[in-house]
């Protein structure tokens, strides 16, 4: 069993295996389920991710009525063809928003690692899959890559906004997605770990202060930010850029920052964006 | 390890909007229902910390009641659970508590049916993973991930060894164990998580042992 990123990467390197294989091995050992069963369980998660990525693009409205329809706008923007960046980045943005809009409508999603951050990982995996022309089965395996890093982060820090702020949710999701993207693109375990660390560093200190306590504003757009950040970190890692702070130290710094974060900024909607005039107005209106 | 499986991270498949505040409460409700082993007549849910501030927006209320109605985290009936509970004649109360809990996402559930009563405290630690921290006033550690038996017994020597050897004779491996008591020599609670499910016959056998008061199973 790997306890930190160092051990995870070492195991992959010494056994000359993909990171996802190390995660699959650990899971089969832990649960005494066959490799086939574990993979088919992950395929179910992948299918839910895909359908939620497509559903929001058609246009959904949140349970509260506060948000919705933005994934559709981005999708139409892509179709118009007049964009500034790579369409894959925009695809990731539209999927990330789509999934989190579906989440806010109390639709079906797969938490990864949480519901509030559920758009990031699928958005990146699906967009990179399109770019590389990878088949579903192969793309889905990289959810284990992301899961391996998420497992380490969750056990050594936290993954809930109430415990560690948004850095623990979108930050973790972005870090997991960055590592998955690197492995999908043929990067090494070492590069995947650097992408994870760089993505997480860029998200350190993010607070969890959503309007009226709802998983909508700023969460939905922050899923887009997490996905873009993951792709950028993956590209840097594939270019050979490395994190100056060692991988596991970045994770422990996320933990330390979360511990120092005041409770008003940890999913209590008592400060920050939630305490703005607009935030108060929505709270009044909805609760 | 707080998180054991990759599906604690990539999962659960669930109805939104929050894994800690929606899927977590569904699971807490499910465990409460399994512990109570009956449809309650009355449910009181006390919410602390982040739950108290944000439970409505996160649909934690419909989620925990959905769990008490035995719904899964991905059940589309969750948004309507309060109406369903009312139709079933279950009296539901939510109380927002001021006290600052040890964990930011804490809730306490009291369920009653006739003379039967159950009190639990639970925390939602993120990603839909929950822990039951108290049962009828006893502190306990229970993941809800493994089959478990909860044994209320007299706080005297030999009881723990007796139960453990009974499990061993039936080739059941103990994966986690915890013993707590409120007062020395009074009632104690043994919490045993196992790798294998514990059969009804074995539960009956343990229940009949000397100094055993009550046994509750939580087989997956």
Q: How many CB pairs under 8 A join A and B?
A: 181
**How buried is A259 (Cβ within 10 angstroms: 0-12 exposed, 13-18 middle, 19+ buried)?**
exposed
Based on the domain organization, do B69 and B162 belong to the same domain? no
Which residues between 250 and 279 in chain A have a beta carbon less than 8 angstroms from any beta carbon of chain B? 263, 266-270
CATH number at residue B53: 3.30.1330.90
Does B202 share its domain with B167?
A: yes
Q: Is residue B160 part of a domain?
A: yes
pLDDT on residue B144: 61
User: Would you call B124 and A213 a contact, using CB atoms and an 8 Å cutoff?
Assistant: no
B199 in the same domain as B118 = no
Residue B1 belongs to a domain: no
Domain shared by B138 and B152, yes or no: no
CA distance linking residue B198 with residue B202, whole number of Å:
7
Of B75, B108, B142, which one is at a domain's C-terminal end?
A: B142
User: Is A29 exposed, middle or buried, given 0-12, 13-18 or 19+ CB atoms closer than 10 A?
Assistant: exposed
The mean pLDDT value for A192-206 works out to: 98
The pLDDT tens digits of the residues spanning A77-126 come to 999 999 999 999 999 999 999 999 999 999 999 999 999 999 999 999 99
Only one residue has tokens 């079933």, namely: B88
Domain identity same for B46 and B93: yes
Query: Looking at the structure, do residues B76 and B114 belong to the same domain, yes or no?
Result: yes
Chain A interface, mutation test: which of B1, B3, B5, B6, most A Cβ atoms within 10 Å? B6
- Is residue B68 assigned to a domain? yes
Whether B57 sits inside 8 A of A286 (CB atoms) is yes
Residue where a domain terminates, one of B142, B173, B189: B142
Look at residue B131 and tell me if it is in a domain.
Answer: yes
Domain span at B165: 148-218
Q: Does residue B185 sit within a domain?
A: yes
Residue of B nearest to A48 (CA): B13
CB-based contact, A50 to chain B, within 8 Å: no
CB neighbour list of residue A164: distance below 8 Å, 6 or more residues apart: A157, A158, A254, A255, A257, A258, A259, A261, A266
- Tell me the CATH number at B154: 3.30.70.260
* Per-residue pLDDT tens over the stretch A209-227: 999 989 999 999 999 999 9
Any domain includes B137 = yes
- Determine how β-strand B148-154 pairs with β-strand B42-48: unpaired
Domain boundaries, chain A: 5-286
Residue with tokens 């899971």: A27
Report d(CA A144, CA B216) in Å as an integer: 36
Nearest to A209 by CA among A250, A169, A150: A169
Q: Which of B125, B142, B159 is the last residue of a domain?
A: B142
pLDDT tens, chain B, 220 aa long: 789 899 999 999 999 999 999 999 999 999 999 889 899 999 999 999 989 988 988 899 999 999 999 999 999 999 999 999 999 999 999 999 999 888 889 999 999 999 999 999 999 998 898 988 999 988 887 666 678 899 999 999 999 999 999 999 999 999 989 888 878 888 899 999 998 888 889 999 999 999 999 898 876 5
Q: Which of A162, A208, A213 to mutate to test the interface with B (most CBs of B within 10 A)?
A: A162
Cβ contact, residue pair B6, A112, below 8 Å: no
Q: Indicate whether B10 and B72 sit together in one domain.
A: yes
Q: Is the domain of B43 the same as that of B113?
A: yes
Question: Which chain B residues are Cβ-neighbours of A159 within 8 angstroms?
Answer: 9, 126-127
Q: What is the ipTM of this complex?
A: 0.96
Residues B137 and B175 in one domain: no
Domain A5-286 has CATH 1.10.4100: yes
pTM of the model: 0.88
| Domain tally, chain B | 2
For helices A5-14 and A19-31, what crossing angle results, to 10°?
Answer: 100
Q: Mean pLDDT of all residues in chain A? A: 96
pLDDT 10s digits, A223-257: 999 999 999 999 999 999 999 999 999 999 999 99
């Amino acid at each position: 069993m790997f306890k930190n990123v160092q051990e995870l990467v070492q195991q992959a390197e010494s056994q000359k295996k993909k990171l996802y294989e190390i995660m699959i091995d650990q899971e089969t050992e832990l649960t005494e389920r066959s490799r086939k069963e574990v993979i088919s369980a992950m395929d179910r998660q992948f299918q839910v991710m895909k359908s939620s990525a497509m559903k929001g693009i058609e246009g959904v409205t949140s349970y509260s009525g506060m948000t919705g329809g933005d994934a559709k706008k981005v999708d139409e923007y892509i179709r118009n063809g007049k964009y500034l960046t790579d369409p894959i980045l925009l695809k990731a943005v539209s999927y990330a928003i789509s999934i989190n809009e579906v989440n806010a409508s109390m639709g079906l999603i797969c938490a990864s690692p949480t519901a509030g951050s559920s758009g990031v990982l699928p958005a990146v995996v699906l967009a990179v899959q399109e770019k590389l022309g990878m088949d579903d089965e192969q793309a889905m395996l990289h959810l284990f890559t992301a899961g391996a890093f998420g497992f380490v982060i969750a056990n050594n820090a936290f993954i809930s906004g109430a415990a560690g702020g948004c850095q623990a949710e979108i930050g973790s999701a972005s870090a997991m997605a960055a590592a998955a993207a690197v492995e999908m693109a043929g990067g090494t375990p070492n590069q995947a770990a650097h992408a994870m660390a760089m993505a997480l560093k860029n998200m350190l200190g993010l607070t969890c202060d959503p309007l009226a306590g709802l998983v909508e504003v700023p969460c939905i757009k922050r899923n887009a930010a997490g996905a873009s950040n993951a792709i950028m970190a993956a590209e840097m890692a594939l270019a050979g850029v490395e994190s100056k702070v060692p991988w596991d130290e970045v994770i422990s710094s996320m933990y330390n920052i979360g511990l120092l974060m005041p409770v008003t900024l940890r999913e209590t909607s008592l400060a920050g964006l939630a305490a703005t005039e607009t935030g108060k107005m929505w709270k009044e209106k909805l609760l | 390890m707080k998180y054991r499986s990759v599906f604690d991270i990539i999962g659960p498949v669930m109805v939104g909007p929050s894994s800690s505040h929606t899927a977590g409460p569904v699971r807490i409700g499910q465990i409460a229902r399994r512990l109570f082993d009956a449809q309650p007549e009355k449910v009181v849910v006390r919410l602390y910390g982040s739950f108290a501030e944000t439970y409505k927006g996160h649909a934690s209320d419909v989620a925990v009641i959905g769990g008490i109605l035995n719904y899964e985290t991905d059940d589309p009936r969750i948004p309507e659970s309060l109406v369903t509970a009312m139709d079933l004649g279950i009296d539901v109360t939510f109380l927002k508590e001021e006290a600052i809990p040890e964990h930011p996402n804490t809730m306490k559930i009291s369920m009653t049916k006739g003379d039967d009563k159950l009190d639990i405290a639970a925390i939602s630690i993120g990603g839909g993973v929950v822990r039951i921290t108290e049962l009828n006033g006893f502190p306990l550690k229970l993941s809800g991930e493994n089959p478990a038996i909860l044994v209320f017994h007299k706080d005297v020597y030999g009881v723990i060894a007796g139960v453990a050897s009974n499990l061993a004779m039936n080739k059941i491996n103990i994966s986690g164990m915890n013993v707590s008591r409120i007062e020395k020599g009074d009632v104690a609670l043994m919490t045993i998580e196992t790798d294998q499910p514990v059969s009804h016959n074995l539960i009956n056998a343990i229940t009949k042992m000397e100094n055993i008061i009550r046994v509750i199973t939580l087989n997956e």
